[in-house]
Amino acid sequence: MSDAVATRSERAADDSALPSGSFAAAPLPDGRLVVVRRALPADAPDVLRVIHAAFAGRPVRSNLPAALSETDATIRAAIEACAGFMLEVDGEAAAATILSHDGDAYQLGRVAVRPKFQRLGLATMLVSALLEALALNGVARVTLLVRKEYPEIGRWWAGRGFQFVSHEGEHARMEAWLPVVVGVPDADAMRDLGRRVAALMRPGDVIIASGDLGAGKTTFAQGLGAGLGVDGPVISPTFVLSRVHRARSGGPGLVHVDAYRLGDAAELDDLDLDASLDDSVTFVEWGSGIAEGLSDVRLAVDIRRGIDPADDTRWVFLNGIGGRWSRAELEAAARPEENNA
């Protein structure tokens, strides 16, 4: 039932909402198990060992990294003041980071991978798992400081959704706004969510939807089409690749694209979506990694299943990319209509 939808972006970003225990796990290609968990104060020596090893291996371009001055006591104090997180490979500490308060946001610091575990993608795994967990717990914004003499590190963070904000001495401040996350219990609720998101749409908007087969992308599109008031029915265009649904009134139409069978962005270009892009809402299923070139300003809709196969609940991550999107509007769209007055 749609009244059971609950948005986690309504939660206050207080420390009680931070992830605890182990909250992510995945195997490496060689079979070793990766686990991401919250660090305890007693883990301070292991966290320090990771930080010292990682920063000692970084090329020195002016002063030695301040991270090398950390001690067991300072790391313990940082964990107790806010939080620390570890990534372990078969139980061995491989990567770590410290989280601290930054006004109404959280700041990432001391992101480190031990040299023996580098080039396995562990930094990406740690950061991705932590940002997803923070988003699920209602955190809106995460910041960090990057030393300007390491522009390659700034580029790495930019590739993970962080944008430059300001200069602070020898550092550049970067930030990322996290997705609004909403729990959707069934197909009707997914359509209702699509209808509410449709109220935010303008001609030229692009939505890129991702999620496993059967996650609910087409169901969301049906609600989107209903909210836009377009001709239907809205069904998956798997074999025709794209369908154009004309608006019955003066609003934008819906161009519904299924990129599942497309190999790359060049094949997407062959669909000539540019002809309708400016006066329609373009919704691309399976578009992640292929359709981003349609617009620098877009809405990413990522639909996830829970780990319990008997539970039909989906978690929908709404991520507005570019200045077009208001987080307050996305949060309002995430709430059921009866609670959205």
Q: What is the pLDDT of residue 272?
A: 66
Backbone CA torsion sign across 18, 22, 25, 28: positive
Burial of 291: CB neighbours in 10 Å, binned 0-12, 13-18, 19+: buried
> What is d(CA 197, CA 80) in angstroms, rounded to the nearest whole number?
40
Residue 338 — pLDDT band, cuts 50, 70, 90?
Answer: low
Q: What is the pLDDT of residue 214?
A: 87
Residue 236 — pLDDT band, cuts 50, 70, 90?
Answer: confident
pLDDT of 78 higher than 90: yes
Please tell me the least confidently modeled range out of 2-11, 12-21, 38-47, 224-233.
Answer: 2-11
Mean pLDDT of the region 125-143: 94
Mean pLDDT of the region 51-70: 89
> What is d(CA 61, CA 32) in angstroms, rounded to the nearest whole number?
35
> What is d(CA 55, CA 66) in angstroms, rounded to the nearest whole number?
9
Q: What is the pLDDT of residue 240?
A: 61
Mean pLDDT of the region 247-273: 80
Q: What DSSP string describes 106-157?
A: EEEEEEEE-GGGTTSSHHHHHHHHHHHHHHHTT--EEEEEEETT-HHHHHHH
Q: What is the pLDDT of residue 142?
A: 97
Burial of 191: CB neighbours in 10 Å, binned 0-12, 13-18, 19+: buried
Q: What is the pLDDT of residue 171?
A: 94
Q: What is the pLDDT of residue 330?
A: 94
Q: What is the pLDDT of residue 239?
A: 61
Tracing tokens 């067991």 back to the chain, one arrives at 72
pLDDT of 1 higher than 50: no
Q: What is the pLDDT of residue 261?
A: 75
pLDDT of 15 higher than 80: no
Name the more confident of 340 and 139: 139
Query: Are the C-beta atoms of residues 1 and 126 closer than 8 Å to each other?
Result: no
Q: What is the pLDDT of residue 244?
A: 84
Mean pLDDT of the region 120-131: 96
Q: Is the peptide bond before 233 cis (omega within 30 degrees of 0)?
A: yes
Q: What DSSP string describes 29-59?
A: TTSPEEEEEEPPGGGHHHHHHHHHHHHHTSP
- Phi-psi region at 56: left, alpha or beta (left = phi > 0; alpha = psi -120 to 50): alpha
pLDDT of 6 higher than 60: no
Name the more confident of 84 and 270: 84
> What is d(CA 134, CA 138) in angstroms, rounded to the nearest whole number?
6
